[in-house]
Amino acid sequence: MNDEKLIAAAREAAANAYAPYSEYEVGAALLFDDGAVVTGSNVENASYGLALCAETNAVSKAMNDGRRAGLVAVAVVGPLDKGDGAPITPCGRCRQVLNEIAQLGGTDPEILCVGNDEVRRVKLSELLPHAFGPANLT
Ligand code: THU
């Protein structure tokens, strides 16, 4: 699985976003070390504050499938026609949600933040340094 394919999977996922309020459709694709890709998109709610982000939905899908480890990369894409075209980075809550499965499996996934003209690659540990996670509770 190369970057382009993972990004394409995230873009496909964004097509299923339910974002009638923000009209900001996001897609996320998680790559696992067995080659599996699990995707998600944002799902909003008439009670605006209940919106669920693409990354959070993807992690929830993966964990509901029984995955607890092996997360190696994540691609995140936003709409091409909104904002300044800068790479989209996961929101704070999604960083914490991603950290849960990453720390469980002992990986530090590469996050591919897709912009209109560039893909910014950052480690989750760079986005969420000094993370609180499951290891703190044992
Ligand atoms: N959103 C995501 O899905 N992921 C992020 O990392 C940032 C924001 C969604 C939430 C909301 O539905 C819309 O984008 C606008 O904030």
* Helix ranges, the chain (H): 3-14, 54-64, 92-105, 124-127
Q: What is the pLDDT of residue 24?
A: 98
In whole angstroms, what is the distance from residue 111 CA to residue 124 CA?
6
Is the pLDDT score of 138 beyond 90? no
Q: What is the pLDDT of residue 1?
A: 78
Domain ranges in the chain are 3-126
Distance 69 CA to ligand 1 centre (A): 24
> Residues 57-96: pLDDT tens digits?
999 999 999 999 999 999 999 999 999 999 999 999 999 9
Is the pLDDT score of 29 beyond 90? yes
Distance 48 CA to ligand 1 centre (A): 12
What is the CATH T-level fold of the domain 3-126, as seen in this structure? Cytidine Deaminase; domain 2 (3.40.140)
Is the pLDDT score of 3 beyond 90? yes
Ligand 1 proximity of 40 Cβ (cutoff 6 Å): no
Ligand 1 proximity of 127 Cβ (cutoff 6 Å): no
Cβ proximity of 109 and 102 under 8 Å: yes
Q: Which amino acid is at 52?
A: L
Ligand 1 proximity of 25 Cβ (cutoff 6 Å): no
Alpha-carbon Rg for the chain, nearest whole angstrom, is 14
b/e burial code for range 33-45 (CB count within 10 A of at least 16 → b): eeeebbbbbbbbe
Nearest Cα neighbor of 10 from 29, 32, 37 is 29
Is the pLDDT score of 28 beyond 90? yes
Average pLDDT rounded to a whole number, residues 47-59? 98
